[in-house]
A and B are shown apart, each in its own frame.
Chain A
């Protein structure tokens, strides 16, 4: 037995040689750790820039997709700038117009048979996967908020800065507060209610505040951002420029730096937007208009740079995967969104933006050479609103609203034009119609519309408001306000509440109008959109975060 123990020992030794417990401490060599990276200036800049990487989310059934783009598209299609006939990401249920009344009086109800509210609420479950439209804007904005919370928390630590520490720290903090302001603004302008989450450890809470509460929180963050920026030189300095060049992604245009002064203007404009878009226009009072005038007077100017969303030319290393970016989606290669008849009818005759930006699709069998597409009506029998005679000229061919080769930007937040048109609206509604019209002219000139001035033409209040409506439709195309406008102008409300749009052009299929062979016709119809004003909180949240008592309602 002695021998046995010797051999056992030998085996044991061989065994022991491979059995270093320290070998079990395998560290992931591929990815940085929070403690290793969020303690340096470079790490925090990468982390700040990485906020936008969070827009790439593994959507059920779709894989990694840009959910910020998806929510931007929702706004465009509900605002009827564009339409999207496909079911992916729940798109087609979002622009499901309830009823369309033809000039003949024939009423065509959506093939689904019920208004948008019933459909969207029906899909409000985790089981509905990608079709649950409620989840996208919610998800991306809370992802922004949480990463900003962690970024602000990390900035409290002992960070080594290269150079002007105070400036760099302030710029990094301003970035995080701005994104929180942006996220709460989007949430508060879209959802019935939400939570205010300042937890930097990945926790949350069950206190749902109503959308006004979220807007208050948004404005608070914008104010903090402005205060921080106010400590810096108005045009920035080398340290500031360095940080901003790192934070803004190259394909989102980091060459045109948003200086502290421009950024403060942005915050003021956004606060004005938050006020304007969250009240029905009929509920706006004199004080509201005055607030808008005050904010917008200190808002974005024609020379201010602003935050944008673009693409890389080869579709690599950007957020779009060559596809999920608003300009690309409307472009000839993707053709997911299409130019709405209802947008095109809002161009005034002689508008250069129409000549430059819009092309008439030939009627079948001819096709447009860029799009390989003919005019079409009632695509896949999914609704009469899903047809058009128009397409957007690609930017690379001199157009304005679409691209086939990843060219161009859409603004992420407010622009000079929006600020000017808010001023216009506020002045028109405050009895200073001519002042207001001047801003409309300024926007048209800024966009080289080539339209005659309306200021000084003695327009009535109603006519001035119509000029404003037209210019907000065209001048702010793809600027993220189309749905907000349709909501506050009561266009998307049910007919019973005075909603709908009369004389809305619909490209009606000939087969609905007459016997086989009847050509499709663009006819003025009455459209009852009947959309929800504010969306329900997605069930994806409520399944794991039940509202505590006293919370605001989470569902319509």
Chain B
């Protein structure tokens, strides 16, 4: 260590000497083409690390020797150089619409200029974020990155996003590896956008190899806000308010007419008597006109008063997001503090709240040595009780079923004599409850604390060597309580109640989770010209890292059932008590070696490998090694190519993995408390002691180019980035079905191979650029197709609505289908479904073969399944336009487009059961007679399920964001503020789609009963393509104010 101190002090003296030379104060302002100040631009003295950053209005001040060259750069702008002088330096930077000036880190190991990156790294800075985004990183990413499918599947607060980067690589979760400032964290959900400076996304194994056995789904890295050296404190405050209502699709999904028996006045009857609600508001089921009569039509308007149940249940919801950031820095330190508060109302009248506190402090006590510490503390609480079927976000599957599947004459707001909402409003269907009544009897609260701590020590030797050590720890503590009141005295307690038993129950859970990541890296850099005086313009970087990760979880639950009929409601007062616990530890570590060599800026190659050990690998815990190689070539360095001012060709190949489940390699017996005994028994899904990591190999070939048209105002510059990618995923873990006589139904094994390919295309253009009007256009396109090229035994994997079939696309919907021609043959290819002699008795109606006598559709045999497409879109695209008018008015909008994805509309299928679907109102023509025949529709529900009849085109084009921002001109601002802007925006204002449900984005992996894929023994599906009563996303209006001091 003595040697190090010597070295450090030598440098310290050297730098002091520099400062002692004759210096001047240099002042200036950096602006964009429109003259608006660019905040946070970097101004450095060329050849040194000395410099400063501009303040919010673009001004800067630094001390330098006269005549030294200043390098001015800012994210999103092209860099420029200028000589230091005592005069005010006013410099305007040109827009860098493809961000080639940017430096990226993710997937390249070492900070590299985008110009020289051989892989496709997408980045998003705060200026790119759609203005209607409220506090969520996941929301901010939607539509912004070509090839990144980011979808929020529910309007329930706190719902995380589904993220699929470049197709599916596994039958498990598609969720990418999430990093914050170089350290792995568990997820993006809850990370405060107010504290985010930039996000980088790499989409496959070629870049993910750096992250080894966890990188195959790609990586999303968040960089938190940092302060700047030599800058006075700056205060920025953002306040947003949003007001939203659920999307309800094109029209009511509920039929206007009915086909019940009615009395002479047209009122529905049961056994000849007009139906009426009982004292509690519960209705008899009217008699359906029997479908033994094929001429029954759904053509009677309700004489009873009807209610829109969605309207009764869902209220408008407000969201508030306030964020305060203070940042600045001295000579040797910088700091940034962010405090945010987010309050979201649920459309079902509950609340989700989040308070985030973040700090980021960097210190450079001696030159070359920096310490940086970033800490985010996130407190979340919610009392969501009903919403999505997904238990992980507090929903139960039954509660929203009734919202849809209830007769329109039922009034959910009816209260019984005790003042409670009616629980069972339909006497013929006790299990379908009034969702409005749940809050009367069921309460739920979650509070969680999440701490993301990240410490970094970095020492750069004057030459060659940089040492970097990062340690991150993420800690979660989640405390939940969930109770059902004792309902034994409730008016309908004998037939319907909420919870597991009428006497009430309470469950408390405490989950503590820590994730540690320790990452030590040595970089060795050489510059042959400078370091060795060789006349070779070669630079090399060698990276060697050691990466250690450990996750630990402790979980406890306690359950009390049979509660007294009076408060307090806790476990102690319950009659019966049960408790349990769960612990898990997961350890993985690995070595990374990566070598890159650049020849000028012309060509560069890199190669390396990463080797990982994991506690989840079976058979002796041998390491798995992933290779990587990349190359880029920039012809524009060699020759002038006219309007093609920048052209790069690139290719990359790499492997990465996905870890098996924590204890999936260990043979254990299951444990279940039964009565007073703790029993043990064989699991029905067997583990596998030889489990291997799932592997993904990616080949990516691409090009980045800039076209300078030479035109003045119109289409001056166009940037295009294009990548073709191919993934081969092997050893994919599959819960393979077994013969049941073995005593088990499944065994986990590495059996499946999935190949995916697609392209990513980004196009950015300055369509119009002049002083008074500026139009920037962006287009993002990602295509992907993932095929299961081999699965065990070639036997289909069936899970809920999804089938994985060898040779077919993932996300496949494959079921029995209505016949499409009267002469259609059975699977044997010979026998017609309908005997030739009988074919005259059938007809094709709306593409479906119908028996003209019974008016019923004819279905294919159970063994004769037809593919109805895949839940995965053939492409996703977005169009982003930003117009700047007279510098201060900014109008922008973003359209998102999903194409080719199918949705299983289980809501519509359930509505077919009770003749409630709006489809029943539509007349069909059978045998020359037109009518809304009940048998026609009912037969599509009744005889088989699932059926292709309920698979719909899920393509949509959605106006994701439209916003109008007014920046107050600096002249209008008094001295009290540096900048002030005011925005009005709208989110999800319209959707163009053929989909008949409420919201084509509000989909899940649930099956007919609302069980989510991902339960033990299922593949998690990754693809959310089932419309199972999810809360639709909201159509909302935002107002926001941003002010900087």
A residues contacting B by CB (< 8 A) are 3-4, 7-8, 11-12, 14-15, 18-19, 21, 23-34, 37, 43, 46-47, 49-54, 56-58, 60-63, 87-88, 108, 111-113, 122-129, 131, 135, 138-139, 142-143, 145-147, 149-150, 194-195, 197, 199, 202-205, 246, 249-252, 312-319, 321-322, 332-333, 335, 363-365, 367, 369-374, 376, 378-382, 404-406, 509-512, 516-520, 538, 540-541, 543-545
Answer whether residue B556 sits at the interface, using C-beta atoms and an 8 A cutoff.
no
| Interchain CA distance A23-B550 in the complex, whole Å | 10
Chain B residues whose C-beta falls within 8 Å of the C-beta of A111 in the assembled complex: 291-292, 942
B737-A19 in contact (CB<8A): no
Answer whether residue B740 sits at the interface, using C-beta atoms and an 8 A cutoff.
yes
Nearest CB on B from A147, distance (A): 5
Nearest CB on A from B793, distance (A): 7
Answer whether residue B798 sits at the interface, using C-beta atoms and an 8 A cutoff.
yes
* New A-B contacts (20) at CB < 8 Å, excluding given A127-B798, A143-B743: A8-B522, A14-B469, A19-B589, A26-B586, A26-B662, A29-B583, A46-B677, A47-B679, A50-B669, A50-B674, A88-B1009, A112-B942, A112-B943, A126-B737, A249-B677, A251-B675, A315-B501, A316-B578, A365-B270, A544-B795
B1009-A61 in contact (CB<8A): yes
Nearest CB on B from A298, distance (A): 32
Answer whether residue B663 sits at the interface, using C-beta atoms and an 8 A cutoff.
yes
* Chief secondary structure at chain B's binding surface: loop
Answer whether residue B126 sits at the interface, using C-beta atoms and an 8 A cutoff.
no
Chain B residues whose C-beta falls within 8 Å of the C-beta of A139 in the assembled complex: 740, 745
Answer whether residue B240 sits at the interface, using C-beta atoms and an 8 A cutoff.
no
Nearest CB on B from A210, distance (A): 16
Show 16 residue pairs from A and B whose CB-CB distance is below 8 angstroms, ordered by the A residue.
A3-B465, A4-B464, A8-B522, A34-B668, A47-B669, A54-B684, A58-B1016, A60-B798, A122-B861, A202-B743, A204-B741, A252-B675, A364-B273, A370-B494, A372-B495, A511-B287
B261-A511 in contact (CB<8A): yes
Chain B residues whose C-beta falls within 8 Å of the C-beta of A29 in the assembled complex: 583-584
Answer whether residue B272 sits at the interface, using C-beta atoms and an 8 A cutoff.
yes
| Interchain CA distance A317-B676 in the complex, whole Å | 8
Chain A residues whose C-beta falls within 8 Å of the C-beta of B672 in the assembled complex: 50, 53, 56
Residue of B nearest to A542 (CB): B739
A61-B1008 in contact (CB<8A): yes
| Interchain CA distance A143-B743 in the complex, whole Å | 4
Which of A54, A87, A511 is B681 in contact with, Cβ under 8 Å? Answer: A54
B1009-A371 in contact (CB<8A): no
A313-B562 in contact (CB<8A): yes
Residue of B nearest to A138 (CB): B740
Residue tally, chain B, CB below 8 Å to A: 127
B492-A372 in contact (CB<8A): yes
B740-A538 in contact (CB<8A): yes
Chain B residues whose C-beta falls within 8 Å of the C-beta of A138 in the assembled complex: 740
| Interchain CA distance A543-B428 in the complex, whole Å | 40
Chain B residues whose C-beta falls within 8 Å of the C-beta of A321 in the assembled complex: 500
Chain A residues whose C-beta falls within 8 Å of the C-beta of B546 in the assembled complex: 11-12, 14-15, 18-19
Which of A12, A30, A32, A363 is B582 in contact with, Cβ under 8 Å? Answer: A30
B290-A381 in contact (CB<8A): yes
Interface residue ranges of B225-282 to A (CB < 8 Å): 261-263, 269-273, 275-276, 278, 282
Nearest CB on A from B970, distance (A): 50
Which of B276, B284, B678 is A367 in contact with, Cβ under 8 Å? Answer: B284
Interface residue ranges of B516-549 to A (CB < 8 Å): 518, 520-522, 524, 544, 546, 548
B495-A53 in contact (CB<8A): no
Residue of A nearest to B7 (CB): A3
Answer whether residue B587 sits at the interface, using C-beta atoms and an 8 A cutoff.
yes
Which of A25, A60, A113, A544 is B1007 in contact with, Cβ under 8 Å? Answer: A60
Nearest CB on A from B937, distance (A): 12
Chain A residues whose C-beta falls within 8 Å of the C-beta of B570 in the assembled complex: none
A122-B861, A142-B740, A365-B275 as given contacts; A15 in contact with B520, CB under 8 Å? yes
| Interchain CA distance A126-B740 in the complex, whole Å | 12
Which of B424, B561, B670, B798 is A129 in contact with, Cβ under 8 Å? Answer: B798
Chain A residues whose C-beta falls within 8 Å of the C-beta of B427 in the assembled complex: 367, 372-374
A127-B576 in contact (CB<8A): no
A332-B495, A543-B737 as given contacts; A50 in contact with B679, CB under 8 Å? yes
A33-B674 in contact (CB<8A): no
Answer whether residue B742 sits at the interface, using C-beta atoms and an 8 A cutoff.
yes
Nearest CB on B from A37, distance (A): 6
A11-B522, A145-B743 as given contacts; A250 in contact with B676, CB under 8 Å? yes
4 smallest CB-CB distances across A and B, nearest first, come from: A146-B743, A50-B681, A250-B675, A15-B546
| Interchain CA distance A125-B862 in the complex, whole Å | 8
B680-A195 in contact (CB<8A): no
Answer whether residue B682 sits at the interface, using C-beta atoms and an 8 A cutoff.
yes
A30-B582, A124-B862, A127-B798 as given contacts; A37 in contact with B669, CB under 8 Å? yes
Residue of A nearest to B547 (CB): A15
A57-B684, A332-B494, A538-B740 as given contacts; A516 in contact with B284, CB under 8 Å? no
| Interchain CA distance A381-B585 in the complex, whole Å | 54
A50-B575 in contact (CB<8A): no
Answer whether residue B467 sits at the interface, using C-beta atoms and an 8 A cutoff.
yes
Query: Quick check: which of B206-214, B405-413, B613-621, B991-999 contacts chain A, the rest being far away?
Result: B613-621
| Interchain CA distance A335-B428 in the complex, whole Å | 10
| Interchain CA distance A63-B677 in the complex, whole Å | 23
A146-B671 in contact (CB<8A): no
| Interchain CA distance A256-B796 in the complex, whole Å | 48
| Interchain CA distance A529-B668 in the complex, whole Å | 46
| Interchain CA distance A53-B677 in the complex, whole Å | 11
| Interchain CA distance A510-B269 in the complex, whole Å | 12
A58-B684 in contact (CB<8A): yes
Chain A residues whose C-beta falls within 8 Å of the C-beta of B522 in the assembled complex: 7-8, 11
B465-A7 in contact (CB<8A): yes
A510-B669 in contact (CB<8A): no
| Interchain CA distance A30-B795 in the complex, whole Å | 33
Chain B residues whose C-beta falls within 8 Å of the C-beta of A30 in the assembled complex: 581-584, 663, 668, 671
Chain A residues whose C-beta falls within 8 Å of the C-beta of B663 in the assembled complex: 26, 28, 30
Chain A residues whose C-beta falls within 8 Å of the C-beta of B745 in the assembled complex: 57, 139, 540
Chain B residues whose C-beta falls within 8 Å of the C-beta of A60 in the assembled complex: 798-800, 1007
Nearest CB on A from B396, distance (A): 12
Interface residue ranges of B841-872 to A (CB < 8 Å): 854, 856, 861-863, 865
A516-B1009 in contact (CB<8A): no
Chain A residues whose C-beta falls within 8 Å of the C-beta of B520 in the assembled complex: 11, 14-15
Chain B residues whose C-beta falls within 8 Å of the C-beta of A249 in the assembled complex: 674-675, 677, 679
Answer whether residue B667 sits at the interface, using C-beta atoms and an 8 A cutoff.
yes
Select the residue from A46, A146, A318, A365 with max chain B CB neighbours within 10 A.
Answer: A365
Chain A residues whose C-beta falls within 8 Å of the C-beta of B798 in the assembled complex: 60, 126-127, 129
Interface residue ranges of B561-579 to A (CB < 8 Å): 561-562, 575-576, 578
| Interchain CA distance A87-B291 in the complex, whole Å | 18
A127-B862, A251-B675, A380-B913 as given contacts; A58 in contact with B1015, CB under 8 Å? yes
A202-B743, A369-B494 as given contacts; A34 in contact with B667, CB under 8 Å? yes
| Interchain CA distance A204-B742 in the complex, whole Å | 5
Residue of A nearest to B668 (CB): A31
Chain A residues whose C-beta falls within 8 Å of the C-beta of B895 in the assembled complex: none
Contact with A along B419-451 (1 / 0, CB 8 A): 000001001101000000000000000000000
Interface residue ranges of B640-666 to A (CB < 8 Å): 662-663, 666
Chain A residues whose C-beta falls within 8 Å of the C-beta of B584 in the assembled complex: 28-30
Residue of B nearest to A140 (CB): B740
Chain A residues whose C-beta falls within 8 Å of the C-beta of B862 in the assembled complex: 122-125, 127-128
B674-A53 in contact (CB<8A): yes
Answer whether residue B738 sits at the interface, using C-beta atoms and an 8 A cutoff.
yes
A47-B680 in contact (CB<8A): yes
Chain A residues whose C-beta falls within 8 Å of the C-beta of B668 in the assembled complex: 28, 30-34
Select the residue from A43, A314, A519 with max chain B CB neighbours within 10 A.
Answer: A314
Chain B residues whose C-beta falls within 8 Å of the C-beta of A126 in the assembled complex: 737, 795-796, 798
Chain B residues whose C-beta falls within 8 Å of the C-beta of A125 in the assembled complex: 862-863
